Structure 1
C-alpha cells in the first residue's frame, strides 16, 4: 500500500538500470545507518564507522517502501525510503522516512556510477 502510494505520487523517471542500482545502494545505506552494520563501506557518509554502533541504532528494521527518482537534473537522484524499526529498548516505530541523495559520477574509463552524498 505504501509502495503504491509513493509510485502514484511520484512517477518513475529513471532508466531501469539506474533505478535498480540506486534502490540497492539506498537500502544498503539505510541498513548501515539504522543498525550501524556495514558503515565502513561508506567512509564519506559515516566517518566514525570504526567506533561502536551508535546508541540510537535499531535492533531490527524493515523497509516498507522505496523509490528512486531524479532530483532536479539527470545527474542527481534521491532514494526515498519508508521504514519501520524497533530500537534496543523495544519501542516500535513505523513510517519513518529517510532520503539518500546521489550524484552520478563518471570514471576516467567512462563508467558511470551513482555516488551517495553526505547529509547536510
Structure 2
C-alpha cells in the first residue's frame, strides 16, 4: 500500500530543519564571538582621602624624619689639584719676643741672660760657682785684649804666639755669657759668647770663643792663657 504524498512531505520537513540547525552550529563554531570588553576601573581615591584611609597624611602633616632632625650630611671637602694655590693666607714667621727665653740676634744686653742660661745647660758644672766666675772673668779680659788689641802686654807669652794681629781690631766688644769646665789634663776650658763690630763694619751677637787657662808657673794662685 502506497503512502499518500502529503505524508511524505510532512516526514521530510523535520529532516530539513535538523540539517539547517547542524549547518548553523558549524558556522558558529568556526567564527567565535568577539571578546566582551572589560569594564572600566573605578576612579581611585584622591591623595587627601588616601592619606585619611591609610593613616599616612601629606608631607606637611607627617612628623620630621630622623634625617630631618640630624640635618643633611655635610659635603665632603674637595681635594685641590696638585699645584693649585691654597685659599688660606700664608703663615708668617715671627721672631721670638724678648723675655721668651730664646735669644734673638740684635737683642743686645737684654738677651744676655737667656744666652747664659742656654750655655749653662750645654754642659754640667764641675767647678764651684765662685771659681767658675773668676775663670770666666780672666778669660773675658784675655779675649777682649785679643780682639781689640788693647791690654795684650799683661800676657806677653800668650800673645807672642797668638797671631792676634791677623784678626783685625773689633769695636763695641761685649761678652754676653761664659762658662768654665775642667779638662782631662787638669786645665780649664772657658767658653764665651760675645758680641762686637768687625773691621768690615758688621755688628753681630752670638759670636763664640774658646780659651784654655792654667796656673801660672810664676804665680801658683794666678791663671794665664795657654795655647
TM-score by length of 1: 0.78
Give the number of aligned pairs. Answer: 112
- Select 1:98's aligned residue among 184, 204, 209: 209
Residue 177 of structure 2 aligns with which residue? 65
Residue 224 of structure 2 aligns with which residue? 115
Q: CA RMSD in A?
A: 2.4
Residue 8 of structure 1 and its aligned partner are, at CA, apart by 1.0
Using a 3 Å threshold, how does the CA distance of structure 1 residues 106 and 42 change in structure 2: closer, same or farther? closer
Q: Structure 2 unaligned runs (5+)?
A: 1-113
Secondary structure at 1:18's aligned position in 2?
A: helix
Higher helix proportion = 2
Residue 67 of structure 1 and its aligned partner are, at CA, apart by 0.6
Q: Structure 1 unaligned runs (5+)?
A: none
CA distance in 1, matches of 2:142, 2:166: 15
Contact in 2 for aligned 1:85/1:94 (Cα 8 Å)? yes
TM-score by length of 2: 0.44
Which structure would you say has the larger RCO, counting Cα contacts within 8 Å and 6 or more residues apart? 1
Runs of 4+ in 1 over 4 A off after TM superposition: 105-108
